[in-house]
Structure 1
Amino acid sequence: MTDWIGETFTSDFGWDHLESLVDIGDRMAGSPGEREAMELTRDALAEAGARDARIDTFDIQGWVRGDSTVYAGDTTQDCIALPRSPADTAAGELVDLGYGLPEDFAEDLSGKVVMVSSTVPDHYERFIHRREKYYHAVEAGAEAFVFANHVEGCLPPTGSVGTEASPVGDVPAVGVSKEVGARLARRCESEEVTVEVDCETPDAESGNVHAELGPDTEEEVLVTSHLDAHDIAEGAWDNGSGTAMVVELARILAEREDELDTRIRFVAFGAEEVGLVGSAHESERLGDDRANVRAVVNNDAVVFGRTLTFHTHGFDELGDAVDDVAEAFDHPVTTVPELVPHSDHWPFTRWGVPGYMVSASGEGRGRGWGHTFADTLDKLEVRNLREQAILLAELVVTLADADTDVPHKDEAEIIEALEAEDLAAGMKITGDWPY
């Protein structure tokens, strides 16, 4: 039967939910807006036909933005604080470390304010995450951290610092636009600058939204997203799009429920942007029952581009399943076998659970308009959501099929892959190494 395909091509269900999420405004982890997003998503999953739609709450370290400034000479330069920066003022000689590759932090940076780019050179073998650059700077003794966007348009980037053990970072951290970064490098290299961050760090509450479809089997397939977003923008792409996809998939799979051999559990995680807190909470709650998770289909920043990218984390069978669906629909996809330890599949996949990181293909490295003021609804297209929902619905049905077998990996295999891909050292410096 293909009626569900035609219905998906005319469905506004997921897109309407996306509009509801972006219209909330601030969905920062622990904020009233994030709570509203939880409730809207719970209700949308129930309306889609999923059962037992509910919210599981947990405590988090809150963070509320105040004003921030970079003082350079007799000027003030626009910036925004990086979430979970401490409230502090620090001064020192400005040092522009360019891309901020690990080897760039070899010198003693005591008494320095360090500025690095949000990207890496095209020839570099891996992407260096913002938090890795921050903690290299901290370890080298830096007084403050300035994160300069590589994307033009006067857009300072955001993104959290802090670790699981110490959720608030060690030194003040701000994001500046590419243009401000270039100005600072030209005018103030080796001159004293001051970084001032004002914020509050209250106790707060976040939560995960759950709902289910299919038979009540011990095994399950998790279809996930995160519903929080950075407070500076609508969070349309990152990650209203992923949560809209989850509720659209629930609507489709409710119509196809008799085709499901395995329970599907939909989970929209809270507090992803401040350290994968919601998905870590759920992974820890499951404990040994992670062995019953057949696969995680994690949707993070879909819809913006028309072609989906699937990171398969070395699980060949996940790549085969995607290729079979793409061939059946004669639709292009991109599969990447490498590991991505930076989204909500990871608290499961790091213990050997097969997991996809599903995103939309974009140009260049990094997030583009993500994590900036420009992450807005007008850049997304309903056509892309509908097309991608068709492919993902078929993929989930395939993963739930009794004949589909995707073996889990041993912890040692994941560790070996992290070391082979040069990810281990960075995860250790950011406090993300769990082994």
Structure 2
Amino acid sequence: MTEWIGDTFTSDVGWNHLEALADVGNRMAGSDGERAGLELTRDAFAAVGARNARIEAFEIQGWERGDSAVSRDGDTLAAGDGSCIALPRSPDATATGELVDVGYGTPEEFESAAAEIEDSIVVVSTTVPDEFDRFVHRREKYYRAVDAGAAGFVFANHVEGGLPPTGSIGSETEPIGAIPAVGVSKEAGARLTRRYEGEEVTVDIDCATPDATSGTAFAELGPDTDEYLLVSSHVDAHDIAEGAMDNGAGTATIVEVARALADREGELETRVRFAAFGAEEVGLVGSSKTADGVDPGAVGAVVNVDSNVFGRTLKLDHHGFDELEAAGERLRERFDHPVALGGEIVPHSDHWPFVQRGIPGYMVSGETEDRGRGWGHTAADTLDKLDVRNLREQSILLTALVVDLGREGVSVDRGDTDRIAAELESTGAATGMKLTGDWPFRSK
């Protein structure tokens, strides 16, 4: 039967849900907008025929944006005019120090500039050089600045267009960061370092840190088997944009997959559990709470969808699970459609709390040519960047992938966490994870 393919390629369910999420506006973790997004997603699951659609709430550290600026002797150099924004989980604080440009913020650059960093305002880029062997996450750069004694942190976008970047800098154990941190546009960052490097500047942030409530929207399809597949996304987004790509797209996609699977429910041989997590952007909080409560042996595989649709080619990072790689190859061959497969360990997004426990999992995204987030985490993450064709095509592919993974006889072995840890060590990612408190493995 192939009718479901035509039905999915002409369905408006996923795209309509994407529009609804984008129109919510601010879906910051713990906000009224995030709650609205969770409710929309719960209701969408129920509307397509998934059972037991619900929201399970949990408490988080909230964060609410106020004004922020970089100034010198009372003159504003970058502010809320589209050139400067506070990074979520920054403290409500002011810091003054000499402006020090640490380039891309690689470990080697921080080491080279160590003597200049203490009590300074550090500026680093959002990207790394093309020849650098790994991507250095924002939080690793922030923690390196903190450990070196910096007074403040400036995160300068590498994407043109007057787009200051956002992104949380807190950790699970220390949800509010130690020093004030702002994101500035590429243009503002270049102007700051050209004109004021070596001079005293001030970073000033006004924000609130109330207690807040987030949650996860769940639903199920298929037979009531003990083992299940987990199909996931995250609903929350940063408060400066629509969060269309990151991650309205992923949530809309799993709603469309749920619609397609509901029509094929009789073919499912394994239960499929859907989870649209909250509070991903502030430390994978929702997925971590769910992962902490599961029996690892009961989760056949995780299919986590985050930041797709912008790129047409579906990318499946399989984290070295051979059976997941094989399923991706079968998918590519069956549909004669481009599907990019990657074996690199991706310790970010909502698959990670499961994968780090040895549970097989994909990080599903859209392949792009550029390194980094592109429009993501900026005010330009808006619906007009996305294409309904891509959402429909990717929903078809993921529906087929889930049915394949759930078939009797398809078994994915649990992962060797020593292998996962060793691969992170070999790429250098472990160093940053240990620095930020995100290393989940025991040292031998």
Aligned counterpart, 2:66:
66
Q: Please give the alpha-carbon distance, in whole angstroms, between the structure 1 residues aligned to 2:393 and 2:416.
A: 35
Which residue among 159, 167, 170 is the counterpart of 1:159? 167
Give 1:231 shift: 0.2
Give 1:283 shift: 0.6
User: What pairs with 1:160-199 in structure 2 (closer than 5 Å)?
Assistant: 160-199=168-207
Aligned counterpart, 1:132:
140
What is the number of equivalent residue pairs in this alignment? 433
Aligned counterpart, 1:44:
44
Q: Please give the alpha-carbon distance, in whole angstroms, between the structure 1 residues aligned to 2:38 and 2:61.
A: 18
Give 1:259 shift: 1.2
Question: Does the 8 A contact of 1:345 with 1:357 survive in 2?
Answer: yes
Q: Please give the alpha-carbon distance, in whole angstroms, between the structure 2 residues aligned to 1:220 and 1:123.
A: 41
Aligned counterpart, 1:409:
415
Aligned counterpart, 2:333:
327
Q: Please give the alpha-carbon distance, in whole angstroms, between the structure 2 residues aligned to 1:230 and 1:219.
A: 34
What amino acid sits opposite 1:85 in the alignment? S
Q: Does 1:370 align with 2:370?
A: no
Q: Does 1:3 align with 2:13?
A: no
Aligned counterpart, 1:211:
219
Aligned counterpart, 1:113:
121
Q: Please give the alpha-carbon distance, in whole angstroms, between the structure 1 residues aligned to 2:16 and 2:214.
A: 23
What amino acid sits opposite 2:297 in the alignment? A
Q: Please give the alpha-carbon distance, in whole angstroms, between the structure 2 residues aligned to 1:85 and 1:138.
A: 12
Which residue among 386, 392, 396 is the counterpart of 1:390? 396
Give 1:420 shift: 1.8
Question: Does the 8 A contact of 1:65 with 1:200 survive in 2?
Answer: yes
What amino acid sits opposite 2:192 in the alignment? L
The Cα RMSD (Å) is 0.8
TM-score by length of 2: 0.97
Q: Does 1:399 align with 2:409?
A: no
Q: Does 1:22 align with 2:30?
A: no
Q: Please give the alpha-carbon distance, in whole angstroms, between the structure 2 residues aligned to 1:230 and 1:364.
A: 21
Aligned counterpart, 2:323:
317
Aligned counterpart, 1:76:
77
Q: For residues 377-413 of structure 1, give each alpha carbon's deviation from its aligned partner in whole angstroms, at most 9, with x where no partner exists.
A: 0010100000111000000001101111110112222
Q: Please give the alpha-carbon distance, in whole angstroms, between the structure 2 residues aligned to 1:86 and 1:104.
A: 25
TM-score by length of 1: 0.99
- Give 4+ residue runs of structure 1 displaced > 2 Å after superposition: 72-76
Give 1:423 shift: 1.3
Q: Does 1:258 align with 2:263?
A: no
Is the partner of 2:24 in helix, strand or coil?
coil
Give 1:104 shift: 1.5
Question: Does the 8 A contact of 1:351 with 1:414 survive in 2?
Answer: no
Decide which moves more: 367-376 or 73-82: 73-82
Is the partner of 1:343 in helix, strand or coil?
coil
Q: Please give the alpha-carbon distance, in whole angstroms, between the structure 2 residues aligned to 1:222 and 1:434.
A: 21
Q: Please give the alpha-carbon distance, in whole angstroms, between the structure 2 residues aligned to 1:19 and 1:277.
A: 25
Is the partner of 2:276 in helix, strand or coil?
strand
Which residue among 347, 350, 365 is the counterpart of 1:344? 350
Give 1:72 shift: 3.1
Aligned counterpart, 1:201:
209
Q: Please give the alpha-carbon distance, in whole angstroms, between the structure 2 residues aligned to 1:378 and 1:128.
A: 29
Segments of structure 2 that go 5 or more residues without pairing to the other structure are: none
Question: Does the 8 A contact of 2:229 with 2:299 survive in 1?
Answer: yes
Give 1:416 shift: 1.5
Q: Does 1:236 align with 2:210?
A: no
Q: Please give the alpha-carbon distance, in whole angstroms, between the structure 1 residues aligned to 2:228 and 2:62.
A: 32
Q: Please give the alpha-carbon distance, in whole angstroms, between the structure 2 residues aligned to 1:356 and 1:105.
A: 33
Aligned counterpart, 2:436:
430
Question: Does the 8 A contact of 2:77 with 2:192 survive in 1?
Answer: no
Is the partner of 1:204 in helix, strand or coil?
strand
Question: Does the 8 A contact of 2:104 with 2:124 survive in 1?
Answer: yes
Q: Please give the alpha-carbon distance, in whole angstroms, between the structure 1 residues aligned to 2:34 and 2:377.
A: 16
Q: Please give the alpha-carbon distance, in whole angstroms, between the structure 1 residues aligned to 2:68 and 2:428.
A: 34
Segments of structure 1 that go 5 or more residues without pairing to the other structure are: none
Q: Please give the alpha-carbon distance, in whole angstroms, between the structure 1 residues aligned to 2:260 and 2:72.
A: 55
Q: Please give the alpha-carbon distance, in whole angstroms, between the structure 2 residues aligned to 1:423 and 1:278.
A: 23
Q: For residues 235-289 of structure 1, give each alpha carbon's deviation from its aligned partner in whole angstroms, at most 9, with x where no partner exists.
A: 0000000000010000000011111111000000000000000000101122xx1
Decide which moves more: 420-429 or 349-358: 420-429
User: What pairs with 1:246-325 in structure 2 (closer than 5 Å)?
Assistant: 246-286=254-294, 289-325=295-331
Aligned counterpart, 1:94:
99
Is the partner of 1:405 in helix, strand or coil?
coil
Give 1:362 shift: 1.2
Give 1:306 shift: 0.6
Q: Please give the alpha-carbon distance, in whole angstroms, between the structure 2 residues aligned to 1:411 and 1:245.
A: 30
Q: For residues 104-151 of structure 1, give each alpha carbon's deviation from its aligned partner in whole angstroms, at most 9, with x where no partner exists.
A: 222132111000000000001000000000000000000000000000
Question: Does the 8 A contact of 2:306 with 2:364 survive in 1?
Answer: yes
Give identity over the alignment, percent.
65
Aligned counterpart, 1:85:
90
Question: Does the 8 A contact of 2:69 with 2:76 survive in 1?
Answer: no
Which residue among 418, 422, 427 is the counterpart of 1:421? 427
Give 1:211 shift: 0.3
Decide which moves more: 231-240 or 64-73: 64-73
What amino acid sits opposite 2:424 in the alignment? L
